[in-house]
């Protein structure tokens, strides 16, 4: 394995761990690491992926600002240059937001070209997010104001890389057209692939089918929620009536987000044993399967 691949693998693992509990602000609720990968992807596309240090800095660019790490820690892990690029793209979070924004633009032209390239790619990803999955409550006016700030920052960062600056301008123009209604929303990059598949993680429904057709004892819904909560952080429980095997059954239905089908099936197998069910039903994307107790071996 080449040194470049090893470096990028280490940087991605480091960033994923540092940002493990963070998500993007929009309704898609993407894992934050998706943004970091997209920033790297933008730089790789523009530059031909010839500078592994630059791509590693893209993956790590928010670790100081958002994760409480120090420049010294990054320097020890990834060397002087990568730590410098990350530090030069980190705001002083003790300052008011308006002052941070003004300072960011004021000092941008003085930064080395590699640091400005990381920032341009970061802003490209952020502009795409405003078009595809903006923070809740952002009005059209606020989105356009944000786009204007992005363009000002992009202007201050000019003189780095022709193709990267072309991608910046193309993105800004596309996002403006989307926000003003002049064009349909067609965001590119990771956001496009994410939205084409699903907004956020898929919602799964798990049915406690009451295969013995007995009244639920007190606290049964709480036990059901607790059992699922051990594997998935949030769950909604609903009571319902199911009809199968020619009989009406009181059932419990759990709704929760999950990105790993294997984990959901494993949960269903455990629920079969915990609640003495012949099977547990799983529904996702309009499809339904039964997981039987004897599947647990």
**pLDDT tens digits for 19-37?**
987 878 776 668 899 999 9
Closest by CA to 269, choosing from 256, 278, 257, is: 278
Catalytic residue numbers, as ranges: 65-66
Q: Cα(237)–Cα(232) distance, rounded to whole angstroms?
A: 13
Question: Could you tell me if 200 and 232 are in contact, meaning their C-beta atoms sit under 8 angstroms apart?
Answer: no
Transcribe 132-195 into DSSP letters.
HSPPTT--HHHHHHHHHHHHHHHHHT-SS-HHHHHHHHHHHHHHHHHHHTSS-----THHHHHH
> Which pLDDT value is given to residue 214?
86
> Which pLDDT value is given to residue 159?
93
> Residue 246 — pLDDT band, cuts 50, 70, 90?
confident
pTM for this predicted structure: 0.65
> Residue 74 — pLDDT band, cuts 50, 70, 90?
very high
> Which pLDDT value is given to residue 260?
78
Over residues 85-109, the mean pLDDT reads 89
Q: Cα(9)–Cα(281) distance, rounded to whole angstroms?
A: 38
**Residue 122 scores a pLDDT above 90:** yes
Distances (CA, A) of 194 to 18, 43, 58, 181, 191: 22, 19, 20, 22, 5
pLDDT digits (tens, 9 = 90+) for 144-195: 999 999 999 999 999 999 999 999 999 999 999 999 987 766 544 444 554 4
Residue range(s) in the chain whose domain bears CATH number 3.30.70.120: 202-296
Q: What is the CATH number of domain 202-296?
A: 3.30.70.120
Tell whether domain 3-197 is in CATH 2.60.40.10.
Answer: no
Question: Could you tell me if 243 and 197 are in contact, meaning their C-beta atoms sit under 8 angstroms apart?
Answer: no
């Amino acid at each position: 394995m080449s040194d470049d691949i090893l470096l990028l693998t280490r940087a991605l693992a480091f960033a994923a761990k540092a940002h493990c509990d963070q998500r993007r602000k929009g309704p898609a609720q993407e894992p934050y690491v998706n943004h970091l990968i997209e920033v790297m992807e933008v730089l790789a596309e523009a530059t031909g992926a010839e500078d592994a240090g630059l791509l590693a800095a893209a993956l790590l660019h928010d670790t100081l600002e958002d994760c409480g790490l120090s420049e010294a820690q990054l320097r020890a892990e990834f060397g002087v240059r990568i730590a410098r690029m990350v530090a030069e793209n980190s705001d002083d979070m003790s300052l008011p937001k308006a002052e941070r924004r003004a300072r960011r633009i004021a000092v941008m032209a003085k930064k080395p070209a590699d640091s400005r390239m990381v920032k341009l790619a970061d802003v490209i990803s952020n502009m795409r997010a405003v078009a595809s999955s903006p923070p809740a409550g952002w009005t059209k006016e606020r989105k356009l104001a944000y786009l204007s700030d992005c363009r000002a920052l992009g202007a201050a960062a000019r003189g780095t890389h022709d193709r990267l600056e072309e991608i910046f301008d193309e993105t800004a123009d596309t996002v403006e057209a989307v926000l003003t209604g002049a064009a349909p929303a067609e965001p590119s990059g990771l956001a496009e692939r994410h939205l084409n598949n699903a907004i956020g993680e898929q919602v799964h429904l798990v049915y406690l089918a009451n295969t013995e057709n007995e009244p639920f004892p007190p606290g049964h819904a709480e036990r059901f929620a607790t059992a699922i909560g051990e594997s998935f952080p949030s769950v909604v429980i609903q009571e319902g009536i199911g009809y199968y095997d020619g009989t009406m059954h009181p059932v419990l239905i759990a709704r929760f987000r999950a990105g790993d089908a294997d984990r959901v099936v494993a949960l269903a197998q455990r629920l079969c044993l915990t609640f003495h069910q012949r099977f547990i039903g799983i529904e996702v994307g309009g499809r339904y399967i039964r997981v039987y107790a004897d599947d647990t071996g």
